[in-house]
Amino acid sequence: MLPFRSPALAVAWFVLTLPAIGADPLVLPPPHDPVQILDDLRAFFRKSANPDGSFRPGIDPDYEGMSDSAYSDLAPTAYAVILHKTFGWPLPDEEKTREFLLCRQAPDGAFFNVRGTVDPRSAAGRAYNTTMALMALRALGTKPKYDPLPVFDVVLGADYKTLPPYMTSFFPLAHLAAGKEIPAAADEKVRALLVQDDDGYVHGHIAATFHAVHYYRLTGRTTPKADAIVKRTLKDQKADGSWLLNPPARDRHATFDAVFTLRQLGGDRADARKAIERAGAWALTCRNPDGGFGHFPGSPSDADACYFQAGTLVMSGVLASPDPLPPDAHLLGWGHLFEVPRAERSLGNRSGAGW
């Protein structure tokens, strides 16, 4: 797997000259201190914390967020929990954060958003909110008040094929976060949606492809057409190190998605490692003076972006993860701490020790 660099090595790495590819100009960040990056990021979350234990999308109370942060007001809190547990930081008020998450669960097991663009009663809203809350509660070592898994039975019993293609890995992640394997019937239904093109991609986009790779890793399977996926992912990387190929609304998480994919499927390849390092350099260009990260250079700091950019920096080795890793590290977020497979093998039970 890619080794996590010490702060001194990480700083030294940034003075290297990265090769330009294609016609786009290569953007190189100046040297950065990883310790300062983490201190500033933690300060960003302190400033965006609410008295009730939740977190806002940004420091400005009027900022409504982008991407996940705009989709559901559970997202900023979930990502704040994930990053605090990743780096071993205490939350400003962990007990209130726990209470906030628990109070957002309905008796039918579903978690719900109060603000955000998703309808909390929709299949997508119920699946999204419940997965995010379970992820955060698992990180906090807290069991939900009600059994959440019937939510996914209902979703898969309805017109689940209309769900966004990026939601496939939500199903095994939610089950594992609840201490269970995804049931065989549900697994069969979701895997039937992971239809790949000849180049290995799903729906021609890195986001859907990432969730397919994430799905196979969570369920302990070898990803089909892995070499083809790596080839396409490497080809699609831009000269600046990112995978921003489409309008920003489509590609806000694309660089994280690509780095996870390359790390899991091609982590032992020199070209994949180089691409991941270049992605880490790009992620640093998204850092803002307030200590947070935007989804792309010049974008406002956002809790969602902070997770995905920090996750990219961890996977690229720019930021060191804790040693030892936190419990059930593979269930924190979207896989930034997921182990890299040494060889094609069955991973066995991924559910951890339960609650």
Residue 36 lies in a domain: yes
pLDDT at 251: 84
Binned average pLDDT, 10 residues per bin, the chain of 355 residues: 35 36 42 89 98 98 94 98 97 98 98 97 95 98 97 87 86 97 95 96 96 97 97 98 88 95 94 97 96 96 98 96 90 95 47 47
pTM of the model: 0.88
Report the number of distinct structural domains present in the chain.
1
Residue 1 lies in a domain: no
Residue 70 lies in a domain: yes
Q: For 31-183, where are the alpha helices, taking DSSP H only?
A: 34-47, 68-71, 75-87, 94-102, 123-139, 150-157, 170-177
> What SS3 class is residue 196?
strand
Residue 253 lies in a domain: yes
pLDDT at 133: 99
CATH (domain of 268): 1.50.10.20
Residue 337 lies in a domain: no
pLDDT at 163: 82
Residue 336 lies in a domain: no
For tokens 């769900």, what's the residue? 163
Residue 154 lies in a domain: yes
Residue 355 lies in a domain: no
pLDDT at 178: 97
Domain of 212?
7-331
pLDDT at 321: 83
Q: Apex CA 93: angle with CA 88 and CA 95, to 5°?
A: 100
pLDDT at 31: 57
Question: DSSP string covering 209-230, please?
Answer: HHHHHHHHHHTT-PPTTHHHHH
